[in-house]
């Protein structure tokens, strides 16, 4: 993105500005008026014609990473065309722009680096963050996505390469939520990296020191937050891919101070609750009927449980009754109260040792917990590939008619189970959503799509909602409202006796408006947004959702 001055760009400078460049869509009059004669091929194309040509070029690349690079270069050249192409082929391009391909793009960030986008804030510059924020492209900002690159997808510490995540995430805020691309800002907090391969790499572009930790790390986060408060008050700040040790404390520290949320904790949780909400309706059950076993006890897994627990409280359960619906298993087995390695957030879900002793000797593993707890829901956020074994799944299916199984780890290589196996082991009875894309299942002679529990169902709609309703905080109830709206939309979109647990990705721009409405209504109810009627909110959401189309030469941008 280029900085926009009061004087309109002309000639080569206009073509170099991706937010104003229309390429071959400039008509003869515009070319004459804007000093573009001779700088473009003579043909004049519409946006649709450009998108068709760009799509053919996209298909000309065989490898997903090369397709990703092509789309990033297109975004750096002509943002309207990039988003026009992406919105037309959203379902096909989502895995290329974001997970799983973005993981490889982060891993090879320094190799494939072409052009700067967003801001890189280093530890050494922490006292100058306000000044550096003023160097941002454009002016006002609706959404910031920030990462420190420590826990990128299932790939771990990618250092400066983590910048690929905020860039990819914000492109989906725009493509689906309709946040204007000029009003988005990706930020990478470079506190170093503990990835020795990166530190020793010849071309690594980040800070070549080990990660800042402890009080110094906290000081940098505070410096960043203070700078955002001062320079961009009211901007939605999304924390992304922070390590478990930092993610929850940062969220707890700032969620009542800023308009902010953590997508790994709250976004993942809302999508999981949305899928569970759909599954519960399909099974003809109630949310309070479920017994839930969770494999993995990191910030994302605890976030999922916290979100479901909030929904259970809304359904009338007490705090203890809601917590008692969960059994957590991590690498050391079942979380029980006698363990001294649990965080306060994990301890909420620790089981009573006396209960577990009745199961026999030893610390129960996943198979034992599933056998004893007889869950109706099995959730995986462990990155343990294949952890949901045939024995475990068949055992679960023996005790529940419609088992809900959510292997949510990504990328695909870290998924706890392949949906095709889950269907086979349960005779097609399992209700499944995965964290990464999988091919459709063949059930009863027909193809059934596999719902992908991608956070894209929630975060763009949250961004659209808070922008439209002018919210000052993101509350837990707003995220639960998003989740319930996702489930309701999926049920309405189901057809031919097939209801995927999440809405069709191709419908996401439409779904985002409905989800945003639910979030905005709840923001008003919670007193964190100005009073407004539902009709007011619908109008504000429709007005706020940007659509990729070219402006006339008289009013570029």
The catalytic residue positions are 98, 169
Question: What's the rounded Cα separation, in Å, for the pair 327 and 361?
Answer: 18
Residue 489: name the closest of 509, 511, 510, 506 by CA.
511
Report angle CA 277, 271, 542 to the nearest 5 degrees: 100
- Residue 12: enclosing H or E segment and its boundaries? helix 11-15
How far apart (Å, rounded) are the C-alpha atoms in residues 363 and 82? 53
Beta strands in 100-155 (DSSP E): 119-122, 143-147
Dist CA 257 CA 102 (whole Å): 31
Beta strands in 381-527 (DSSP E): 404-407, 431-434, 441-443, 446-448, 451-452
**Are 372 and 359 within 8 A, CB to CB?**
yes
Helices 164-172 & 459-469 angle (0-180, nearest 10)? 60
DSSP-assigned letter for residue 211:
P
| 227 phi/psi in degrees, rounded to 5 | -65, -40
Beta-sheet pairing, 184-190 with 119-122? parallel
For the beta carbon of residue 292, count every other beta carbon within 10 angstroms. 23
DSSP secondary structure string, 531-554? ---HHHHHHHHHHHS----PPPTT
Query: CA torsion sign, 234 to 147 to 184 to 87?
Result: negative
Nearest CA among 60, 154, 82, 72 for reference residue 109: 72
Q: Which residue has the tokens 């990660």?
A: 211
Ramachandran angles phi, psi of 361, nearest 5° = -75, 160
Residue 84 vs residues 74, 117, 178, 225, 408: alpha-carbon distances, Å: 11, 20, 12, 34, 30
Q: Do β-strands 446-448 and 441-443 pair in parallel, antiparallel, or remain unpaired?
A: antiparallel
423/258 Cα distance (integer angstroms): 44
Which letter does DSSP use for residue 453 in this model? -
Written as six digits, the tokens of 147 are 């990462």
């Amino acid at each position: 993105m280029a900085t926009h001055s009061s004087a309109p760009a002309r000639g080569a400078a206009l073509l170099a500005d991706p937010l104003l460049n229309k390429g071959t869509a400039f008509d003869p009059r515009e070319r004459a008026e804007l000093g573009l004669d001779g700088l473009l091929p003579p043909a004049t194309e519409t946006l649709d014609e450009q998108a068709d040509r760009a799509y053919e070029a996209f298909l000309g690349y065989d490898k997903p990473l090369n397709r990703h690079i092509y789309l990033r270069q297109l975004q750096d050249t002509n943002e309207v065309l990039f988003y026009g192409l992406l919105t037309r082929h959203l379902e096909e391009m989502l895995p290329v722009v974001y997970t799983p391909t973005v993981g490889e793009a982060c891993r090879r960030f320094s190799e494939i680096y072409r052009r700067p986008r967003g801001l890189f804030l280093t530890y050494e510059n922490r006292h100058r963050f306000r000044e550096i924020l003023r160097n941002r492209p454009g002016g006002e900002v609706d959404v910031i996505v920030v990462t420190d690159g420590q826990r990128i997808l299932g790939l771990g510490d990618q250092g400066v390469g983590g910048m690929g995540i905020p860039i990819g995430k914000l492109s989906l805020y725009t493509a689906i939520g309709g946040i204007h691309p000029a009003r988005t800002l990706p930020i990478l907090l470079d506190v170093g990296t503990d990835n020795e391969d990166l530190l020793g790499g010849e071309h690594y572009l980040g800070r070549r020191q080990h990660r800042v930790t402890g009080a110094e790390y906290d000081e940098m986060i505070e410096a960043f937050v203070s700078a955002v408060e001062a320079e961009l008050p009211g901007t939605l700040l999304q924390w992304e891919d922070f390590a478990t040790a930092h993610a929850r404390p940062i969220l707890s520290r700032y969620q009542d101070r800023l308009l902010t949320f953590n997508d790994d904790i709250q976004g993942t949780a809302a999508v999981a609750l949305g899928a569970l909400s759909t599954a519960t309706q399909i099974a003809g059950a109630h949310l309070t009927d479920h017994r839930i076993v969770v494999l993995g006890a990191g910030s994302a897994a605890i976030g999922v449980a916290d979100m479901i627990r909030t929904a259970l409280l809304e359904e009338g359960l007490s705090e203890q009754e809601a917590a008692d619906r969960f059994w957590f298993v991590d690498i050391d087995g079942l979380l029980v109260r006698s363990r001294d390695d649990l965080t306060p957030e994990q301890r909420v879900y620790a089981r009573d040792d006396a209960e577990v002793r009745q199961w026999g000797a030893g610390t129960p593993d996943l198979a034992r917990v599933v056998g004893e707890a007889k869950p109706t829901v099995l959730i995986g956020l462990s990155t343990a590939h294949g952890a949901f074994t045939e024995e475990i799944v068949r055992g679960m299916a023996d005790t529940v008619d419609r088992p809900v199984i959510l292997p949510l780890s990504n990328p695909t290589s870290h998924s706890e189970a392949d949906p095709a196996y889950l269907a086979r082991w349960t005779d097609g009875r399992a209700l499944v959503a995965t964290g990464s894309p999988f091919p459709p299942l063949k059930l009863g002679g027909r193809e059934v799509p596999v719902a992908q529990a991608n956070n894209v169902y929630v975060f763009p709609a949250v961004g659209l909602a808070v922008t439209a309703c002018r919210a000052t905080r993101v509350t837990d109830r707003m995220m639960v409202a998003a989740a319930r709206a996702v489930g309701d939309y999926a049920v309405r979109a189901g057809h031919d006796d097939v209801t995927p647990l999440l809405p069709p990705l191709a419908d996401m721009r439409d779904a985002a408006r409905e989800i945003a409405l639910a979030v905005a209504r709840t923001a008003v109810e919670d007193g964190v947004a100005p009073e407004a009627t539902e009709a007011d909110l619908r109008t504000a959401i429709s007005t706020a959702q940007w659509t990729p189309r070219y402006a006339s030469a008289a009013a570029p941008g």
